[in-house]
Chains A and B, each alone.
Chain A
Amino acid sequence: MSSVLFDVPGPRARLRHRLYALLTIVVLVGAIGFVVYRFTVTGQFEPVKWSWLEYKQIQLSMVDALLNTLKAFAAGAVLAMAFGAIFAAGQLSDHKIIRVPSMVVVELFRAVPLVVMIFFFHYGVSPGPPFYSVVLGLTLYNGSVLAEVFRAGVRSLPRGQSEAAYAVGMRKTQVMSNVLLPQAVRAMLPAIISQLVVLLKDSALGFLITYDELLEFARDIGSSFQFDRPLVPVTIVVGAMYIAMCLLLTWLATYLEKRSRRNKKVLKLEKKPAEDVVAAAV
C-alpha cells in the first residue's frame, strides 16, 4: 500500500525496513529495560507498595473517589451541553443584542484557563463545597467549546433545511430546536464526544482545590508510610482507570459515527468544520 510519503517498498527497501524495525526494537527493549531496572532498584515492585490494593476499606474509598470523578463529569457534561446549545443558538440569533453578548461570553470563557476559572470560583466566589466550583468551571469552559461545535454543526447544514422549515410555516425557534439543532448534534456527535473526553480529563483539576476525586485519593494513599509511600503504583493504577474511561468514551464515539454512517436519516456532509475546532481539543 502506498502512502503519501513512502512508495511501495521494493526488495531492497523491505530489507532496510526490517533493519530499522530491528533497531527500533532494540531501542524499545533498552528503554523498557531501563524503566524496569529503575523500578527494581528503587523497590517499586516490592509487595508492600502494592498491598494497599488488597484492603477492602481502601478499595471502597477508591470506588468512592471514582464515583466522585464520575459525578463531576456527569454534572459537567449535562450542564455544558445545555450551556453549549443555548449559546450556540444565541450566536446564531438574528438579533444583534443577543448575538454579540453570546459571542463575547463564549470567547471569554474559551480564553481563560480552566484552572484560573476554578480558582476564581473556589477562592473568589466560594459557592460552597469544591464540587460546585469544579462543575461550574467545567460547564463554562467546555460549554463554550461545545457552543462553537454546535454552531459549526448548524452552519454546515445545507440552507435547504431551514428554508424548507420556514416554508412549512415554522417559527424561528421551531426551526432551530426542531430542525437545525437535532441534525447538527447528530452530525457533530464524534466531535461532541471527544469534547466530553476532555471534560472527563479536566475533572481531575478538582484535585487542585481538594475535591475528593481519583487524584486526591492517589495522593492520600501515595503518601501513607504504612505502605512505604506507594506513589508510583498508585499513579499507575489511577492512570489506567482514566485511560480506560476515556477509551470507552472514544469507542462510543467511533461506534456512533459508524452507526450514523449507516443511517440514511443523517445528512452526509462533505466536510466537518467542527473537526478543526475539536481536532486540537487539549
Chain B
Amino acid sequence: MDVLLDNLDLYGPGFLSTIWLFLISAAASLVLGVVLAMLRVAPVPVMRSIGSSYVTLLRNTPLTLVFFFFAFAFPLLEIVTPATFGSASGYYFFAALCALILYTSAFVCEVVRSGINTVPVGQAEASRALGLTFGQMLASVVLPQATRAVVPPMMSTMIALLKNSTIAAGFSVFQAGSISLYLSERGENQMIGLLWVALFFILLVIPMSLLQRSLEKRWSIAR
C-alpha cells in the first residue's frame, strides 16, 4: 500500500496518460478500421486488394516492431520529427499513437468485415427488391444485424488495445507500463509497484470482458 500512496504522483499521471492513449487511439482506429473495412468489401477490386494487403501486413507484424519503427526509424524520414513537436516526449506520444492506431485498425477492419459478412445476402436482396435505397438498406437492414456480430469481438479488440498501450513503456512514453521503471529510480520495491499496476488493469478489464460476455450470450440467440 505504501508503494502506491508514496508514489501517487507517478501512478496518477501514469494511468491518466494510459487512458488518453487508449481513448485517442480507440477513436481513431475505429474510424480508420471502418474505412478499411469499406475498402475490403468495396465492389472495386483495386480497393479490395489495398484493404487486404494493409490488413495482412499489419496483422502479421509485431506491435513492438511498429512501435520501433515510429519511435526510431520514422523520424529519419523527416516527415514528422521531434522538432515538429518541440519536445522529445511529445514526439514519442505521437509515435505511440501512430503505432497503436495503425496496428489496431487492421483488427477493427477484420471485425467489421466479418460482422458485415454474417448478414445473409438474402436480407440485402430482399431490401433491394422492396426498393430501399443503399442508405436505407444499410441503416435499417444490414447494420442493425451486423452490430450484433460486431460489438462483442470489437470489445475484445478494444480491451486488447488498452493492454497493448503498455508497450509504449519501452518507447519513452510515460504511462502505466513505465511506472515501475521510475519506481526503481526511487529505490522502491518494483514487484509491489507492478502488482498495483496489474491490479489496476484487472479492475479495468474484467468488467469490460464480463459485459462483453453477457452481450455475446444475449445476442447470440438471435440468429
Contacts and interface: CB of A to CB of B under 8 A. Distances in A.
Interface of A: 2-7, 9, 13, 17, 20-21, 24-25, 28, 38-39, 41-42, 44, 107-108, 110-117, 119-120, 123-125, 197, 201-205, 207-208, 215, 218-219, 222, 229, 231-232, 234-235, 238-239, 242-243, 246-247, 250, 276-277, 279-282
B1 interface: no
Given A116-B198, A208-B170, A201 B62 contact: yes
A interface, by DSSP: helix, strand, loop or mixed? helix
Given A111-B202, A111-B206, A280-B153, A38 B61 contact: no
Interface residues of B, number: 72
Contact of A117 (B117, B157, B198): B198
A218 B68 contact: yes
A123 B43 contact: no
Contacts of A281: 160
A115 B170 contact: yes
Given A39-B77, A215-B64, A282-B164, 20 more contacts: A2-B121, A4-B124, A6-B41, A20-B42, A21-B44, A21-B47, A42-B77, A42-B78, A110-B209, A112-B201, A120-B195, A124-B180, A125-B191, A201-B63, A207-B170, A208-B167, A218-B65, A242-B65, A280-B154, A282-B157
A13 B68 CA distance: 44
A60 to B, nearest CB: 22
B214 interface: no
B61 A239 contact: yes
B73 A28 contact: no
Going nearest first, the 4 A-B pairs with the smallest beta carbon separation are A124-B191, A282-B160, A280-B156, A204-B62
A17 B44 CA distance: 6
B46 A25 contact: yes
A144 to B, nearest CB: 12
Nearest to B66: A239
